[in-house]
């Protein structure tokens, strides 16, 4: 779970790749750097992430069977909401309980 700002969007095959500036990592099981690529397995614009927008994102690390691909994946059932101070407060409160 992290707060990020969308810097760019690019369609690659049947997927969408977003370049994201990681602002605040809240909870992560793998290291995040200041800029990451976030992959969405479709090109329909779901979830709608706009360039320049800040979002609270719950994504997972995807490593393929051969371990040749390691990326951050926002699945269809993933969480992507526009970032607000309220979202920040809710995530910080949840982190204390989890």
pTM across the whole model? 0.82
How do residues 46-87 score in pLDDT, each as one tens digit? 888 999 999 999 888 887 777 667 788 998 778 898 998 888
Q: What is the 3-state secondary structure (H, E, C) of 21-87?
A: EEEEECCCCCCCCCEEEEEECCCCCCCCCCCCCEEEEECEEEECCCCCCEEEECCCCCEEEECCHHH
**Domain residue spans of the chain:** 2-96
pLDDT the model gives residue 67:
67
Per residue in 8-47, pLDDT (tens digit) is 999 999 999 999 999 988 876 778 889 999 999 988 878 8
Pick the CATH number of 2-96 from 3.30.360.10, 2.40.50.120, 3.30.70.580, 2.60.40.350: 2.40.50.120
């Amino acid at each position: 779970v992290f707060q990020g700002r969308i810097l760019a969007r690019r369609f690659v095959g049947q997927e969408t790749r977003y370049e994201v500036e990681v602002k605040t990592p809240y909870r992560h099981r793998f290291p995040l750097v200041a800029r990451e690529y976030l992959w969405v397995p479709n090109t329909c614009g779901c979830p709608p992430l706009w360039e320049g927008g800040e979002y609270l994102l719950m994504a997972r690390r995807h490593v393929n069977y051969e371990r040749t691909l390691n990326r951050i994946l926002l699945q269809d059932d993933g969480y992507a909401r526009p970032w607000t101070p309220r979202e920040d407060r809710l995530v910080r409160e949840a982190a204390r309980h989890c």
